[in-house]
Amino acid sequence: MKRSEINDLIKKSIEFFDEMNFKLPKWAYWKPEDWKGKYDLCSEIIDNMLGWDLTDFGSGNFHKRGLILFAIRNGNPAKDKKKYAEKIMIVEENQETPMHFHWSKMEDIINRGGGNLVIDLYKSDENEDFSDEDFEVKVDGVKHKLSPGGKVILEPGESICLEQGIYHRFYGEEGKGKALVGEVSAVNDDNVDNRFYEEVGRFPDIEEDEAPLHLLVSDYKKYI
């Protein structure tokens, strides 16, 4: 992805967060130079990969298969006592986050507002393939029995709890607009805890056609 495209997507995301009255921490708006010399003060942010995160999953088409999110809080078992994480995401109509599950992380996915969020689901089997068994998920604490490939549509205010080993992919429902999507979970480590059904790229290769407006979590090592 080009840095200019990433910068534009972050600008538009900030506008959408403002429209939805969702407030980010002050350091979300820091320029790259604002981070200089602040590692000791901000080590939790940097080490735990808090902040702007954007990917096209190697698709080359962000709006078809991609996701922009902001990690607000996250623990690190090797360094601190925090055992939880929180993210905010923007999911466009028909913009897919591909099928995956987590070995360690249990999470709640929450539609915070805007459009509807569609989630396709499978239980995984002992070979980490799609299981042919029925399974249960909870939507706002209410049990729902699903067949393999079952679909849940979250309207604003609704949430689903996803246990370890449950394959899921999600996208915004066509005709409903962008969805503001939250995630509350156990500690998140995208480097080791994502099992994608198909091989994908998690962090984008960036063509630096202009300077970064705000740093991505994948920029920290280079710039700080």
Residues 6+ apart with CB under 8 A from 197: 98, 99, 100, 130, 167
Q: How many residues does the chain have?
A: 224
- How confident is the model over 49-58, as a mean pLDDT? 96
> Which of 80-84, 85-89, 111-115 has the weakest average pLDDT?
80-84
Q: What 3-state class would DSSP assign to 119? A: strand
Distance from first CA to last CA of the chain, Å, rounded?
A: 21
Contact indicator for 143, 136 with CB cutoff of 8 Å = yes
The CATH code of the domain that includes 152 is: 2.60.120.10
Residue 103 CB neighbour total at 10 angstroms: 12
Quote the percentage of the chain above a pLDDT of 70: 100
Which residues are 142's β-sheet partners? Answer: 139
| Domains held by the chain: number | 1
pLDDT per position as a tens digit, 130-165: 999 999 999 999 999 999 999 999 999 999 999 999
As a whole number of angstroms, the distance between CA 160 and CA 80 comes to: 28
pTM for the complete prediction?
Answer: 0.95
Question: Cα dihedral angle (41, 213, 172, 127), rounded to 10 degrees?
Answer: -60
What is the per-residue pLDDT across 110-124, written as a single tens digit (0 to 9) for each? 999 999 999 999 999
CB 5 within 8 A of CB 62: yes
Checking if the pLDDT of 191 tops 90, the result is no
Structural domain range at position 105: 3-223
Residue 163: partners with Cβ closer than 8 Å, 6 or more residues away: 106
* Alpha-helical runs (H) found in the chain: 3-19, 39-47, 220-223
